[in-house]
Structure 1
Amino acid sequence: MKHLPLFFDLAGRKVVVIGEGPKADLRVKLARSAGADVQHLDTHSITAKDFHGAVAAFVATADEAKDIMVQRLAKSAGVPVNVADRPTLCDFIMPAIVDRDGVVVAISTSGASPTLASVLRGRIEAVLPERIGTLASLAVTFREQVNALIADPARRRAFLRRLVEGPAARLALAGDEAGARRVALGELDAARRQTGSAGIAHIVGAGPGDPDLLTLKAAQLLQEADAVLHDDLVSPAVLNRARRDAEIVSVGKRMGRPSWAQADIDAELVRRVRAGQTVVRLKAGDPFVFGRGGEEVDALRAAGIAYTIVPGITAALGCAASAGIPLTHRHHASALTFVSGHSAVGSKPVAWPALAAEGHTLAIYMGATEAPAVRDRLLEAGADPATPVAVIENGTRADQFVSTGRLADLARLAAVHVQGGGPSLIIVGDVAAYAVAVETPPLAKVS
């Protein structure tokens, strides 16, 4: 390691910045953001006295001779100096910085490649949760109490680790600070009494199948889960992103097969969370689009269980994009409706005449087995038999299979996908003509 990374308290301390222009201005801004007493000077009549009492100096004149002159003056005053773009003149270097409300990450390549450091900063910024500072504040709030109430160092470390990774952390990151404090207090009391900790449920969208389409938050939660309760349609590639020692439980429901009742799934969620587990309820697509996520949230609320909701890319968006279909188009479709091919008993009937109108795109979930009835209802409602349709099976996955044709042929087209057994989405409307019919995978993926 060429440079030792240090975080230096500059509050109220003198820092000298020499030079004009964007690089000097950036150093002034950074030093002031750390609370430093910044003296911003140009190179006219500068002497070693200007550096007396300073804890650091930044030089950014963009002139090599001036840079060397000022660097020598700072050194003669015994002040560590950084010279922009001249690593051989530097006592310390400037890292690329990620600052999220007091949580600071510094990235350095020891001056070898500032561009690489900047790229890495962008990647870290994309991964860090937006409210990570709130989580740091939660940890500060409880630190003294934890030190006072948990004497054993190993148990104390375990509690603090859970505080920043477990249920309280997830509530803080979701913006529920009051809920996070309540959960943390409960866990602290349990830890003090050496009883079980409170758990949490995360209702998470797995996306349409391609694991690279998981949201960052979904991927993070899969790495934290004690148990993953997943739908049958969640792809194995997505399940492989879960923590290695997490318990993977299939609670899927598939038509015509033995499966879990919704009440049993609700009860299992409640049971596991009350036992102290962090549970990810992983649903194909988005939990709130034909995913029964709302029913499970109702059950968790009724039981007084802590939970968060993580949306996912729903099948209509992912599959259509992967097949090259724009669901809306300025010249062809100004309305879009998601429709279920299967309706629950007692649900409101679908207004097929409105759905059959021109300029309207239909994305029909779970419709392959009901394709004849869907076709008939649309035709009876006045749809043109020549309306383009596309059936997308295993959308976004390596084995994606797309059939295209006309509404009049929908039953025949869908029958092939029923035999295939993979999850299928039907798109009806003029935009379906944009689909690329593919019978041999793989298909180019969406990123």
Structure 2
Amino acid sequence: MSNSSSFFALFANLQDRPVLLVGAGVVAERKALALLKAGARIKVVAQNLSEQFLCWLEEEKIDYLGADFYPEQMLSVYLAVAATDDEALNQRVYLAAEAQSKFCNVVDSPKHCSYITPAVIDRHPLQIAISSGGTAPVLARLWRERIESQLPQHIGKVASFVEKWRDEVREKINTLAKRRYFWEEIFRGPLSGTIEVGDEERAAQIMRDTLLQAQTKQQQKQLGEVVLVGAGPGDAGLLTLKGLQAIQAADVVLYDALVSPEVLELVRRDADRVNVGKRAGAHHVIQDKTNRLMVKLAKEGKRVVRLKGGDPFVFGRGGEEAQVLVKEGIPFRVVPGISAALGATAYAGIPLTHREHAHSAILISGHGTEEKDENDWQALAKTEQTLVVYMGSMKSATIQEQLIANGRDVNTPVAIISRGTTEQQEVVIGKLSELGVLATKAPRPALIVIGEVVSLQQELAWFQQAEETQDEFLTV
């Protein structure tokens, strides 16, 4: 984890606002160019002015306050920049700014910065800023270059063109969500290519036609839709592309307790998020409430994402929720996710099948083990197969007892994988005879894996080893 400060991202309007720049060398020139481009009125303090600064002074683009810095110079400015090779002077500027609650940036000294300037991709008026919080500016620059190569040069013209239509769109489309749908349709359609070739008349016609269609739609009662999305087992990198697109387009996201914070961070910022996580002993009540809420929101015309840990159709009650939607006549889609049985075992270094150890894998829910006749324990106890138990920690003693009673060897390897695929992943290895004790002590959520394939874990474990290798590399 980084010890650096966490910065709040924002864009500042510096048009006609005074900015203090202490320094007038090569680095200060770069800062001044960016400030002038933003329309700032720069007040310069420096022992000597470079040729470029002298030109700006002659052109009345900057004001020169003199050779020496005084804290009083901070009073009338909006923010300050210190860009000298004198560390003591830079610190004086920073402390003066702090004392007067003014933003200050000291070049190449993150600890003396109350704001930082990111790497910027400028397609005026569209700007994309990338920052590492001052920890790795070269990394930010490299990513800027990568994104720069993907961003069309004419995209700024598109932004300027649609600006002229914003008031009319706001006037004719009466809700924020419907306006968002309208603009999404516009930007995904042919408008950008039309503007690229300079046909603004055709672009205006596209706007008029799409706006008329949107007005017609808003007079009709529109059903929304529900997308059942599998969030995967925890690592946000395992979320599918379709899953990401769905949560980025959602008006409301109903999410379970098993969805990781890293995945939730990818949800569209202004979407409503509702935690519908279940608690032991109240599953049916909460599930009914979730179903009603899902239906209600969709009937209000909203785009609803039902976000579930793992895969919605693998012990995720996605099938039951889909049946409710069918009954209510609500359109829905399913975006599969990587289930814990696939993701957590892979990250733990445990293959579900292996030619020498297991020719099949069976997935069961631990919630179904309270009554002894709910599972075919004789079938589950067979050798040369892998048994994966979801939500089995509380019933692990029963699982152990039934498998052994039905012929499974007491020395069969078992694994309990807690918080699989995340940085907090823990893997405990033992024998079937120890399962009840090991599982109740393991952090939850946890997945239980029973079978000979577990014996390969020490050989094939890569996730924790990769992190340890990376840590060693970083400390060299």
State the TM-score, normalized to the length of structure 2.
Answer: 0.53
1:428 positional shift: 0.2
Corresponding residue number in structure 1 for 2:419? 394
CA displacement, residues 50-99 of structure 1 (integer Å, 9 cap, x when unaligned): xxxxxxxxxxxxxxxxxxxxxxxxxxxxxxxxxxxxxxxxxxxxxxxxxx
Q: Does 1:276 align with 2:298?
A: no
Partner of 1:310: 335
Offset of 1:198 from its aligned partner?
2.7
Describe the shift of the 1:225–1:193 C-alpha distance in structure 2 as closer, same or farther (beyond 3 A).
closer
Aligned to 2:138: none
Which residue does the alignment assign to 1:285? 310
Percent identity over paired residues: 42
Cα distance, 1:263–1:289 mapped onto 2, change above 3 Å: same
Pairs within 5 Å for 1:42-441: 155=173, 160-161=182-183, 163=185, 191-192=216-217, 194=219, 197-256=222-281, 261-343=286-368, 349-417=374-442, 420=443, 422-436=444-458
Q: Secondary structure at the match of 2:346?
A: helix
Task: Give the counterpart letter for 1:354 in structure 2.
Answer: A
2: CA distance, partners of 1:285 / 1:268:
22
Q: What number of residue pairs does the alignment pair up?
A: 278
The one-letter code matched in structure 1 to 2:456 is Y
Cα–Cα, structure 1 residues 287 and 355, in superposed 2: closer, same or farther, change >3 Å? same
Cα distance change, pair 260–280 in 1 and its aligned pair in 2 (3 A): farther
Q: Which amino acid aligns with 2:447?
A: L
SS in structure 1 at match of 2:435: helix
Hey, which of these two has a bigger chunk of helix by percent? 2
Using the TM superposition, give the Cα deviation of residue 234 of structure 1 relative to its aligned residue in structure 2, in angstroms. 0.9
Separation in 2, partners of 1:264, 1:203: 16
Q: CA deviation at 1:195?
A: 5.2
**CA, structure 1 residues 351+425, in 2 after alignment: closer, same or farther (shift >3 Å)?**
same
Q: Residue 226 of structure 2 aligns to which amino acid in structure 1?
A: A
CA distance in structure 2 between the partners assigned to 1:189 and 1:220 by the alignment: 22
TM-score between the two structures when normalised by the length of structure 1: 0.56
Contact 1:392-1:402 within 8 A present in 2 as well: yes
Structure 1: segments with no counterpart, 5+ residues: 1-115, 125-149, 167-186
Shift in CA distance, 190/383, structure 1 to aligned 2, threshold 3 Å: farther
Tell me, yes or no, if the aligned pair for 1:322 and 1:444 is still in contact at 8 Å. Answer: no
Cα separation, partners in 2 of 1:268 and 1:152, compared to 1, 3 Å: closer
Structure 2: which 5+ runs fail to align? 1-142, 152-167, 189-211, 468-476
Task: Show CA shifts across 1:290-325 (max 9, x none).
Answer: 000000000000000011000000001001000000
SS of alignment partner, residue 342 of structure 1: helix
Given residue 330 of structure 2, which amino acid in structure 1 is its aligned partner? Answer: I
Cα–Cα, structure 1 residues 165 and 381, in superposed 2: closer, same or farther, change >3 Å? farther
Contact 1:393 1:400 (8 Å CA) reproduced? yes
Deviation (angstroms), 1:349: 2.2
Is the contact between residue 232 and residue 254 of structure 1 (CA under 8 Å) also seen in structure 2? no
Q: 1-side partners of 2:422 and 2:351: how far apart?
A: 18
Letter matched to residue 254 of structure 1:
R
